[in-house]
Amino acid sequence: MQTDINMSAKAQVRPRARQRMHWRKVMTPYLFLLPYMIAFLVFQAVPFVTGIALSFMRWELLERSQSFIGLQNFTDVFADDLFWQSFRNSFYFAVLTTAGVAVVALAAALALKHVTRGQTFFRVVLYLPVILSISVIGIVWGRVISNDGLINYYITRLGIPRISFLGDASLVIPSLSVVTVWWSFGFPMLIFLAALYAIPESLYEAARLDGAGNWALLRFVTLPLLRYALLLVLVTQFVGHMQVFGQAYILTNGGPGHASYPLIMYIYQTAWRYYHMGYGAAMAVLLGLFMLVIVLMQVRLIGQQEEY
């Protein structure tokens, strides 16, 4: 009788133990994700929702009471000439820099793929600028392209007039773009390099047997098979460079005039210098919507092409 009771108790315990083991296995991955989820909620989700809510309010940081004003902030933004100028500056910079990064990174990746000796060394050298902070980039390039910088020193020695890279309204954004391309092409280069190694060599061999030259190989084999890597680079680079701030803030402070004044700097100064939080949030929401539209267009144009 006692034996039967013991066996019955063990039979009841085993399902419970198995259930605990099951829940432990199920919950363990979520426990590892918990720190990230907390950080995401605190630093991403909550500010995102709060920013959207602020855009519909007259939220002055130093005032005691805040009021809901509906779409008034957005109406004011659309009538703001400085908003449109800073938006055009950011868009012009983002287009130039994204195109420059894509071209330079792809060229560097193609060159590295054909390097047989010292490839690791060249990878490191080309990637090194990425690890530098924007403050370092601003100080170094300020000594290179300012009116008294290194470039103007040498061209004046050759009898050529000084070029005002940062003081000429027509040159300042292209100059900032060149600086940013040098700084940021390293990571896209690695993406392209990994994608190039994933292309089977048999495709190149078959194309060469059909008489394809180097240009034909690049156009009809390499580029079509790199489109997903290209999409990743274009999307991430455009979104990142549309939010340009540090380069303009350190090198030009938005000048000359407002020729290099980016939208993020306008949002920052509106919200944190003049304390118009609601107005700044409205501009940030419009910027986010614009970037979303551009990203969806890029995905549709590049990501849904024919499979090769």
Total domains in the chain come to 2
The CATH number of whichever domain residue 79 belongs to comes to 1.10.3720.10
Residue 61, in any domain of the structure: no
Mean pLDDT score, 299-305: 74
pLDDT digits 0-9 by tens, 209-249: 888 888 999 889 999 999 999 999 999 999 999 999 999 99
pTM: 0.88
Q: 271 and 146 share a domain?
A: yes
Q: What's the half-sphere exposure (Cβ side, CA atoms, 13 Å) at 191? A: 21
Say yes or no: 88 and 231 in one domain.
yes
In a domain, 255, yes or no: yes
Structural domain of residue 141, as residue ranges?
75-302
Residues 81 and 34 in one domain: no
Judge whether 62 lies within some domain. Answer: no
Residue 23: which pLDDT band, with cuts at 50, 70 and 90? confident
**Predicted local confidence at residue 25, as pLDDT:** 79
pLDDT value of residue 131: 94
Q: Are residues 19 and 156 in the same domain?
A: no
**Residues 128 and 29 occupy one common structural domain:** no
Could you tell me if 19 and 83 lie in one domain? no
Residue 152 maps to a domain: yes
Do 275 and 148 belong to one domain?
A: yes
98 in the same domain as 180? yes
**142 shares a domain with 26:** no
Residue 58 forms beta bridges with which residues? 67
* 64 lies in some domain: no
267 in the same domain as 145: yes
- Which pLDDT does position 57 carry in this prediction? 94
187 has pLDDT over 80:
yes
User: pLDDT (tens digit, 9 = 90+) per residue, 31-56?
Assistant: 888 898 999 899 989 999 999 999 99
**Quick check: is 63 in a domain?**
no
Task: State whether 137 and 16 are in the same domain.
Answer: no
Q: Is residue 21 located within the same domain as residue 136?
A: no
- 57 occurs within a structural domain: no
Whether residue 308 lies inside any domain: the answer is no
